[in-house]
A and B are shown apart, each in its own frame.
Chain A
């Protein structure tokens, strides 16, 4: 009952004209920017970070919840019409949604993605409402050693999921951790990796890192390939936007299954959205009565993964709010938004910032409805947006990226840092290094170090504490499996492929 009372209070605040307006603005901005090719949810949130300078914390987080959801909606539009997945979790949507669009069924694909996201988002928000406070209570009892172990698990899974090769993912992660080290050590006041540059005493501005890696890196990538890479062909939206009764019949079960797969995996401290979307795609492929259509535009292959994607993304908010641990690049950028307001998500958040949390959760419900109402009729408008000339689009992205970074401290140093990270992001993308582990390492690193040192102080310097406490040891073991598992699977597959050769 407590939960319902809190939620009602949250709705009371979320329904205030200002917060409604902010939720609306967030959803619109998020979809608008998210639709633009090349801009996934992480980039969208990073680009719009400067907006946080303007509002009070609650208002800003309501705005960002809208941007977060809107960015995800927008991503499915580009996946379906342009065959461009904003991030790995949108890949299944391109597999089925784009062929659907090619055969003139773009309207149905867009509709099942939007409605499926609404269904999944709403169910997941109910899940957050009831499980969130409970999870926070459990999290409160966690000791530093376990806390550190959970962060290691988050690092391990993000690294393993996004990287084809764990070594490159780990390089990215450790570089991020190193970036997090820059600045004055919070416990002893020692300057570390500052090289006497006063601007670095507060650490590298993480917003500059995020905007540089995502937005400026993307612009450089576009510039490098603009003449030689084939231009993505935009498909016209065929037919009306909506679903036939047959589409509904084939969609509703995948929506629910996708939600059931996405929510729990996303809510794990090691979640992320990649595993559940691909899992959902495989489940739908196996269960479908239209197996032959898969790869050629099966609506189940859009409905399931899109729902799983959205459910996982909502689920990601659970570890973010209750543990302060982001499990995807987008959540990492969202955590930056929190930290800019000195709001530190974690076990105490539900108690110390109760009003803020519940307004945020209530605005998630509202945002979901708004996006559905907003997006279906506005799809033709988004489609027009996709026709923006690429040079103007990139120029605009750079203008807003620079604005956001400059407005941080009104200092060109941060802009220089962002340009450097843009170059780094560009280089990493070209050579197969994922950037998500880097951003997570940079955001979470300082927290991980604090917990690490607390645990060590508790054990009086005994390194084995992480392995002698059963829970911590179990979580670390899981991390090892998460990292080594894909490697072992790949090695096994390679062996199996090799075996027949000597026989013949």
Chain B
């Protein structure tokens, strides 16, 4: 927010601790491990698929097994590469991303989207969409809340009118029904 943010050491608030400049960021290692975990899960659940009739040559389990093994193998290689840091370009990219990333707006955006998906049906499409638009703009740094709310309202009403009334795609009307 303040101009100092840009010049302060960005590693500070990203990781919560001061990282020495030559240390490799953790994100590639975490990502590779997550892929490996996904591979193990795919493989594990593949065994839970009941095989169909016996006379079939290849049942519903074979392809999932293939996919699970493939994911495990590829992810294992990625894990090894990430921990050995054998890809300097990736390390550089991850460091750059860590330097430029602020987590607060990301979390705020995700929270907004989750609220939106729960608000949609009870509050109505155009009502929640107008609010979503204004709040997203605010999270992303817009400071003209009145203007954004107005644009959001017009946009939401236009979409609602076009899709619900003209094209017949049902969108939740919410508590306040429109006269038109």
Are A and B bound to each other? yes
**Which chain A residues have a beta carbon within 8 Å of chain B's beta carbons?**
50, 53-54, 164-165, 167-168, 170-171, 173-175, 177-178, 181, 185, 187-188, 190, 192-193, 216, 219-220, 222-229, 389-392, 394-396, 398-399, 402-403, 406-407, 410, 412, 415-416, 419, 422-423, 426-428, 430-433, 445, 449, 452-453, 456-457, 459-461
The range of chain B's interface size is 35 or more
Q: Contacts of B133 on A, CB cut-off 8 Å? A: 395-396, 398-399
Q: Contacts of B123 on A, CB cut-off 8 Å? A: none
Cβ–Cβ contact A167 & B77, under 8 A:
yes
Kindly list 17 other residue pairs between chains A and B, CB separation below 8 angstroms, not including A174-B71, A181-B63, A228-B101: A165-B87, A174-B70, A187-B60, A219-B109, A227-B6, A395-B132, A395-B148, A399-B155, A402-B117, A402-B129, A403-B159, A407-B171, A416-B114, A431-B90, A432-B87, A433-B31, A452-B63
Cβ–Cβ contact B163 & A403, under 8 A:
yes
Known contacts A178-B67, A392-B151, A457-B57; A223/B139 CB under 8 A: yes
> Closest CB-CB distance, B34 to chain A, in whole Å?
8
Q: Contacts of B137 on A, CB cut-off 8 Å? A: 391-392, 394-395
Cβ–Cβ contact A224 & B102, under 8 A:
yes
Known contacts A181-B67, A432-B94; A390/B140 CB under 8 A: yes
Cβ–Cβ contact A190 & B38, under 8 A:
no
Closest to B114 in A: A419
Give bound CA distance, A208 to B127, whole Å: 23
> Closest CB-CB distance, A28 to chain B, in whole Å?
16
Q: Contacts of B142 on A, CB cut-off 8 Å? A: 389, 391-392
Interface of A is mostly: helix
27 A-B contacts (beta carbon < 8 Å): A53-B169, A165-B90, A185-B60, A187-B52, A188-B53, A188-B56, A219-B136, A223-B139, A226-B102, A227-B6, A228-B5, A391-B141, A391-B148, A399-B129, A402-B117, A412-B121, A416-B114, A416-B117, A428-B31, A431-B27, A431-B30, A432-B87, A433-B31, A445-B67, A457-B57, A457-B58, A461-B57
Q: Contacts of B31 on A, CB cut-off 8 Å? A: 427-428, 431, 433
Cβ–Cβ contact B38 & A170, under 8 A:
no
Q: Mark B56-93, 1 if CB is under 8 A from A, else 0.
A: 11111011100110110011011001000001011001
Report which of A173, A226, A449, A460 forms a contact with B141, defined as CB distance below 8 A.
A226
Closest to B142 in A: A391
Cβ–Cβ contact B58 & A453, under 8 A:
yes
Q: Contacts of B63 on A, CB cut-off 8 Å? A: 181, 449, 452-453
> Closest CB-CB distance, A409 to chain B, in whole Å?
11
Report which of B32, B90, B116, B148 forms a contact with A164, defined as CB distance below 8 A.
B90
B100 contacts chain A at the CB level, 8 A cutoff:
yes
Q: Contacts of B159 on A, CB cut-off 8 Å? A: 399, 403
Report which of B35, B118, B141 forms a contact with A171, defined as CB distance below 8 A.
B35
Closest to A423 in B: B110
Q: Contacts of B77 on A, CB cut-off 8 Å? A: 167
Closest to A401 in B: B113
Closest to A397 in B: B136
Closest to A177 in B: B67
Q: Contacts of B169 on A, CB cut-off 8 Å? A: 50, 53-54, 407
